[in-house]
Amino acid sequence: MAGGSGSWPVAKYHFRVEIEGKTCSFQEVSGLQVESPVIEYRVGGKNIPTAKLVGTAKTSNLVLKKGIFKDDKELAKLFGRLLDNEFYDENKKFNITIHLLDETGNIVMTWNVIRAYPVKLQGADLKSTENAAAVEMMEFAYEELKTE
């Protein structure tokens, strides 16, 4: 196991997101997940253990959240490409890269989200009784997740 005496895990609050090679600021990233379902079947007759096979890998959706800034329409433009049916063309899907950084800004780990496209844009929940920043969310479907 990694981590000897005196070492600590990397904090999760320092990260960088790149969409189509452009660095974007987000306050939260979730959905970096791939799972392979187990396919169980029985071979032969009674009292024989169940055989287990590896199923097809499945990704969850990537969710990115960020504060809303005046004159910042980047997520809306990106979602507009979905509404224009741009992502029916497989060549128009794009990659998203998430870097986990250490306290000095060096890359500790990288997640490469492959062949992504937006599937959901959610505006801020507005409440006149709260004094909080407005946050928008965009969700992306993707086909592969690779780590470095």
Residue 42: the pLDDT is: 78
Residue 108: the pLDDT is: 94
Residue 24: the pLDDT is: 87
Residue 2: the pLDDT is: 57
Give pLDDT tens digits for 55-93: 999 999 999 999 988 888 888 888 888 888 888 898 999
Six-digit token pair at 20?
A: 């189509």
Residue 6, pLDDT above cutoff 70: no
Q: With respect to residue 96, please indicate whether it lies within any of the assigned structural domains.
A: yes
Give pLDDT tens digits for 28-56: 999 999 999 999 887 776 677 788 899 99
**How many other CB atoms are found less than 10 A from the CB of residue 17?**
19
Taking the C-alpha atoms of residue 106 and residue 87, their distance in angstroms, rounded to an integer, is 33
Return mean pLDDT, the chain: 89
Q: With respect to residue 8, please indicate whether it lies within any of the assigned structural domains.
A: no
Q: With respect to residue 7, please indicate whether it lies within any of the assigned structural domains.
A: no
* Strands 28-30 and 62-67, bridge-based pairing: antiparallel
Q: With respect to residue 2, please indicate whether it lies within any of the assigned structural domains.
A: no
Residue 48: the pLDDT is: 74
Residue 1, pLDDT above cutoff 60: no
Q: With respect to residue 140, please indicate whether it lies within any of the assigned structural domains.
A: yes
- Domain count for the chain, please give it: 1
Indicate the residue type of 70: K
What range does the domain containing 38 cover?
15-147
Six-digit token pair at 5?
A: 């005496």
Give pLDDT tens digits for 125-147: 898 998 999 999 999 999 999 99
Which CATH number goes with the domain that contains 61?
A: 2.30.110.20
Q: With respect to residue 84, please indicate whether it lies within any of the assigned structural domains.
A: yes
Residue 97: the pLDDT is: 97
In terms of Cα–Cα distance, which of 61, 65, 67 is closest to 113? 61
SS3 assignment for 63-86: EEEEECCCCCCHHHHHHHHHHCCH
